[in-house]
Structure formats: structure tokens, C-alpha cells
Amino acid sequence: MKVLITGAHGALGREMQDLLRKEKVNFLPTDLNQLDVTDFKKTNEVVLKYHPDVILHFAAISDVDTCEENCEMAFSVNASGSLGLAIIAKKIGAKILYTGTNFVFDGNSEAPYFEYSEPNPINEYGRTKLLGEQYIREICDHYFIVRTSWLFGKNSKNFIPKFVLSEHKPQSIDAICDLFASFTYIPDLAETIFLLMKSENYGIFHIVNRGIGSWLDFALKAKGLMKLKTEIRPIKVEELHLRARRPRFTPLASKNFEFLFDKNMRTWESALSEFIKSISSK
């Protein structure tokens, strides 16, 4: 098996490289410097030359406010780039796995969203990522769409996990208390992606750790596990005056993965505990 990774230098991309290396799978890691997915001609050349069996499409502009400020760039990368890769994957008969987001939903539900729930994004990030999904579904036969949420682990870009990783903890931090979603431990996500890509169970999957929380919940749990003295101050999202709207309640529920693989993801609290132990051991 040969695997091509886009966005290979991101947190998930790096974790996936480590896993594929351990499993002795041949792979080509690419990021913006090696492969700009908005350049269809160059992307076509690179992919055809390597001719992978599986394309792991992680490349995206995932900063929600950047997408809102530069919607053309967000569309170019998240939507058009995915369209190009879908066309190439179809041409060479490769499987393609695309990482989606809980932000394709509007957050107005009172219950977690399933794979069959109707998307209705309220910001440019969600809209462009949903378009990427749609292009892949319309063009490819052999696709996996993996929607996930609030990643944490080494190399995470999210503020609170970066706080957990920081060597010198501040006296206090603010943590958003009024947005609720699922958390996803990056090593758990990578292992699930590895299971999916080896299978022929195509379709949409919600892959997150079990349980629901806010970043305040996450920070307080981490503080307790690490016995920190840092003051965790709750803050409402409106107080941050962010450019893009955030959906209020977007936990993901998984039916497809649990049914097809007879597996349950562990809780985010259990995963967080392992994450903190891995930091402490170093």
C-alpha cells in the first residue's frame, strides 16, 4: 500500500506519519512547500507520479477567523483544492480520506449530530469545508469523510492544549465556557483513520472521543490531573469579539464507525489523562 498525505506537517499529519512508519506503510508526506493543493496542474503531476493507493487529505485552512477574513483563500484551499484531489483520485482509482469538521452544523440542536444530520454551516470555514465534502462525495466512489472536532495532543494548535503542553504555566488563563462540542485525541483519530483507510467501508464518519464539554471543562480537568495552581477563568465567546460566528452546541455522535467496526471511542477524560501522562514522562 502507498499513501499520499496532504497537510502532512500539521498535528494530525505528523501523528499519521509516525503511525504509518510504525506500521511499515510506504507514504509520501506533502505540505504547502511540496504540494499546494490549489495548483491543480502541479498536484496532478505529483500524485500521478507517486500513484498512491490512498490519499489522506488533511490540508486545509482551519483557522476559523482567517477563513472569515479571507473567504476566497478559504474557498480555494478547502473547497477547490479538495475538488482537484477528488478528480485525481477518481482518475487513478485511489481511495481518498478527507477530514471534515463539526462546524458544518449550525449548533442549534439540543442533541449531538449524527452522520445523517443535515449540515447548515454559519461561517466561511464550515461552508468551505462542507463544499469540499460535497465535491468528494459527488466525484469519488471510494471515499471516507471523517468529521472530527476540537483536536488535542502534541503539536495541537488549540489554545487550551497548548497551555497544557507549555513548560511555564501562567498565573491565570481564560477558557470559553459557553460553547460545547466533542474533543478528539489526535493519536486516537490517527489510529481510527488507519482502520478506515484499510477497509472498504466508504462513507461519512464522525470520529471523536466520547463525552461533551467546553474548553473550560477541559482546562479544569487538566488542572486537576496536573495539580496546577493556574487560575482558570470562564469567559463567554462574545467577550472575545471574534470575527467569525461559532456554533453553540456541536458535539458529534458516531453511528457508522461503531456499527461497521464494532468499536467505541474512549472518553475524552481518559484520553486527556493519557496525554498528560505522556507529557509528564518526558
Neighbours of 50 (CB within 10 A): 16
In the prediction, which pLDDT does 157 show?
Answer: 86
Q: How many CA atoms lie within 13 A of 160 on its CB side?
A: 24
Least confident of 116-125, 162-171, 199-208: 162-171
Average pLDDT, rounded, for the chain: 96
Distance, in Å, from the CA atom of 163 to the CA atom of 168, rounded to the nearest integer, reads 9
What is the arithmetic mean of pLDDT over 21-32? 97
pLDDT reported for residue 235: 97
Fold of the 2-155+183-209+250-266 domain: Rossmann fold (3.40.50)
Q: Is the pLDDT of residue 171 over 90?
A: yes
Helices (H) and strands (E) in the chain, counts: 11, 10
Mean pLDDT over 70-92 rounds to 98
Residue 281 pLDDT exceeds 80: no
Domain ranges of the chain: 2-155+183-209+250-266
- Burial pattern 116-142, b for ≥16 Cβ within 10 A else e, equals eeebebbbbbbbbbbbbbbbbbebbee
The one-letter amino acid code at 51 reads H
Displacement of CA 201 from its chain's centroid (Å): 20
Q: Are strands 151-152 and 231-235 parallel, antiparallel or unpaired?
A: unpaired
* Residue 170 contacts residue 135 (beta carbons within 8 Å): no
Given a contact cutoff of 8 angstroms between Cβ atoms, the answer to whether 267 and 212 are in contact is: no
Mean pLDDT of 202-210: 98
DSSP string, 134-155: HHHHHH-SSEEEEEE-SEESTT
Predicted TM-score of the model (pTM): 0.97
